[in-house]
């Protein structure tokens, strides 16, 4: 009887260790949770939204324009922003219109009317790539330019400069909390 009880405990311990190992692999290499901190991605993401980040997406693919990504802004802080400029592109925002290589690009995720837009963008946020840290004429290889959707209240490439793609943790894929906001984002 004692031997049977000992084997049962050993089997439970093995199952627990396997489960912890699988969870660790999933967390390190595949998916991770993140909590949105602040209003920089309004109206798309709200402060305290809890999300799942797809960490394996960029093992096989490069970031695409308008992907919402999480990246290491510093050794202590990760930021969540939207990819706007890709390698080899010139980026500018003039009178709140995004231009890529001189061509206007619609940002359908931003509010349509200017009154609603101005509530998220209290100040004009015009810039050209050459004015940003690094003074590049195009986004360099291995980098992306990121902006928050709430341009009037976002620390992004306008302050940080272009972001190395090796600093990208992954693509924000799913809001899972609060319950009423459950949705896939950026699809």
**Domain at 30-184, CATH homologous superfamily:** Umud Fragment, subunit A (2.10.109.10)
Query: Which of 184, 187, 181, 186 lies closest to 49, judged by CA?
Result: 181
Reply yes or no on whether 40 is catalytic: yes
| pLDDT at 122 (0 to 100) | 45
Question: What is the domain partition of the chain in residue ranges?
Answer: 30-184
In terms of pLDDT, which residue wins out, 154 or 23?
154
Mean pLDDT of the chain: 85
4-17: average pLDDT: 74
> Please, which pLDDT band fits residue 19 given cuts at 50, 70 and 90?
confident
Catalytic residue among 57, 81, 171, 173: 81
Token pair in block for residue 79:
């930021």
- For the cut 80, the answer to whether the pLDDT of residue 115 exceeds it is no
CA distances from 161 to 2, 31, 107, 133 (A): 65, 27, 21, 5
Token pair in block for residue 92:
């500018």
Reply yes or no on whether 75 is catalytic: no
- For the cut 70, the answer to whether the pLDDT of residue 143 exceeds it is yes
């Amino acid at each position: 009887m004692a031997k049977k009880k000992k084997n049962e405990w050993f089997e439970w311990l093995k199952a627990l260790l396997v489960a912890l190992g699988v969870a660790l692999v999933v967390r390190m290499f595949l998916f991770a949770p993140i909590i949105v901190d602040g209003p920089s991605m309004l109206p798309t993401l709200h402060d305290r939204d809890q999300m799942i980040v797809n960490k394996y997406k960029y093992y096989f693919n490069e970031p695409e324009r308008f992907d919402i990504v999480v990246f290491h802004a510093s050794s202590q802080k990760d930021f969540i922003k939207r990819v706007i400029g890709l390698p080899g592109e010139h980026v500018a925002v003039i009178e709140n219109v995004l231009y890529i290589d001189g061509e206007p690009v619609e940002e359908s995720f931003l509010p349509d009317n200017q009154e609603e837009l101005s509530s998220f963008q209290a100040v004009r946020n015009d810039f050209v790539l050459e004015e940003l840290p690094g003074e590049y004429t195009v986004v360099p290889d291995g980098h992306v330019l990121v902006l928050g959707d709430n341009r009037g209240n976002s620390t992004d490439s306008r302050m940080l400069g272009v972001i190395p793609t090796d600093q990208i943790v992954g693509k924000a894929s799913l809001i899972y909390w609060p319950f009423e906001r459950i949705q896939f984002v950026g699809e």
